[in-house]
Amino acid sequence: MALQCGIVGLPNVGKSTLFNCLSNAKAQAANFPFCTIEPNVGVITVPDERLTKLAELVHPGRIVPTTVEIVDIAGLVKGASKGEGLGNKFLANIRETDAILHVLRCFDDENVTHVDGSVDPVRDKEIIDTELQLKDLETIESRIQKVQKQAQTGGDKAAKQTYEVLVRYKEALEQGKSARTVQFESKDEQKIAKELFLLTSKPVMYVCNVDEASAVNGNKYVEMVREAVKEENAEILVVAAKTEADIAELETYEDRQMFLQEAGLEESGVNRLIKAAYKLLDLETFITAGEMEVKAWTYRKGWKAPQCAGVIHTDFEKGFIRAEVIKYEDYIQYGSEAAVKEAGKMGIEGKEYVVQDGDIMHFRFNV
C-alpha cells in the first residue's frame, strides 16, 4: 500500500526545511521511526493517539503505527513543462505520486531571497499550476489526435466517451483551470478520467509556510491563498517550518510538548501535516489489538471487510468468513475485549461490511 505524497514548491519556500522536519524522527510523536528509501523519499509514521490509549489497556509487546511515504520533489522553475531546469525529472516525479503537498511562501524575511523578487503566494501557486496544466494539455491534445477520428466517424461508443472526457478537460485547461475542477457523473467517464493520470487531477493540499507569529491564526498571505483556491476542492494547512525545525531539535517528547504549549499550538505542524497527507490520499486505519501488538493497518476509504482482511494476509481475504468488529470508543469505554462482548457491543459483520476508520477488527477465515 505504498502511496506517496509529493512535496512541491518554488525554490526557497521552505520545502526542504519541512521535508527535513518530517524526516527527523524527533519531530514525530514520542518514539516512532522514520527511514529514507532514497535521498528524497521518507517513510513517515502517522501519529495516532488511539494506539497509545489502546496500549494502556492491552499492555502489548509493541505498538506498530501505520506509515505514509513523502517525496521531496526538486524545486520547480518557469518553463518546466518545456524541460527547463530539472523540468522533465520534476514532472516525472510528480506523475509517480498519488497526491501533492504544495508549499507556498507566506512569510516576509529579507534574508531569504525569493526567485521572483517579492512574496506573493498566489503568483507562486499559479506558476506551478501553469506548468502542470501545460503538461496536461500536451497529454490531452496528443490523446485527442488518436481518438478523434474513431469517435466522430465510427460507432465506437468507448472512443466517443473518451473523446468527450478529453474535450471537457481541454476546455478547462485552456481556461487556466486544473483538471481537478472538472467533475464527471458516470462511472465510465470517471474511469476514463482516472486512467489519463493527469498531473492536475491529483488531490492537492496547499501548505502555507508562515512565520512563527502567524503559526496559530495565519496572516494576510494565507487569506490570499484561501481566496484563490476556494473553487478548487483543495485543502489548506498553515505551518511555520522554521518553528517546526526548532521543535525537531529538541531532545525529549516532553520538551517538544512544552514548546508547543508556549507557542499556543495543540500539536506540531508536522503531525498535522502527516495526518492531513494520509487523509488526502483517501486512507483510513483499522486496528488489531492483542497481547503481542497493537497495530494500525492502512486501507482505502470505502473498502469492505474482506479487502481489509487481505491487507493483513491474502489468505484472510480468500477464506474470509466474518469480521468481529469493536468500535474504538466502545473499547475505551468498557476497557477490554471481554467487557465489550459482555455488553453486547461487538459487531459480527459479513462480506458487505464497509470498514470504518478506527474499527478494531478480528477476522475469521478458513483456507
Residues comprising the binding site for ATP?
Answer: 12-17
Reported residue count of the chain is 367
- As a whole number of angstroms, the distance between CA 365 and CA 347 comes to 16
Per-residue cell: 170:
481541454
Question: How many other C-beta atoms can be found within 10 angstroms of the C-beta atom of residue 154?
Answer: 10
Neighbours of 340 (CB within 10 A): 20
Instruction: Evaluate whether 18 touches 27 at the Cβ level (below 8 Å).
Output: no
**8 Å CB contact between 328 and 354:** no
Whose cell is 478547462? That residue is 172
Query: Cα separations (Å) of 277 from 1, 44, 140, 197, 272?
Result: 14, 11, 28, 19, 9
Instruction: Tell me how far apart the alpha carbons of residues 344 and 96 are, in angstroms, rounded to a whole number.
Output: 46
Measured CA to CA, the distance from residue 154 to residue 358 in angstroms comes to 51
User: Which phi and psi angles does 175 have, rounded to 5°?
Assistant: -90, 5
Binding-site positions read 12-17
Residue 160 pairs with which residues in a beta bridge? none
To which H or E segment does residue 102 belong?
strand 99-105
What whole-number distance in Å separates Cα of residue 53 and Cα of residue 30? 13
- d(C-alpha 69, C-alpha 80), whole Å: 24
- Identify whether the C-beta of residue 97 lies closer than 8 Å to the C-beta of residue 2: no
Residue 261: count of CB within 10 angstroms of its CB = 10
CA distances from 122 to 148, 264, 276 (A): 36, 27, 21
Task: Supply the DSSP symbol for 75.
Answer: P
Identify the CA nearest to 211 among candidates 243, 187, 233.
243
Three-class secondary structure of residue 236 per DSSP:
strand
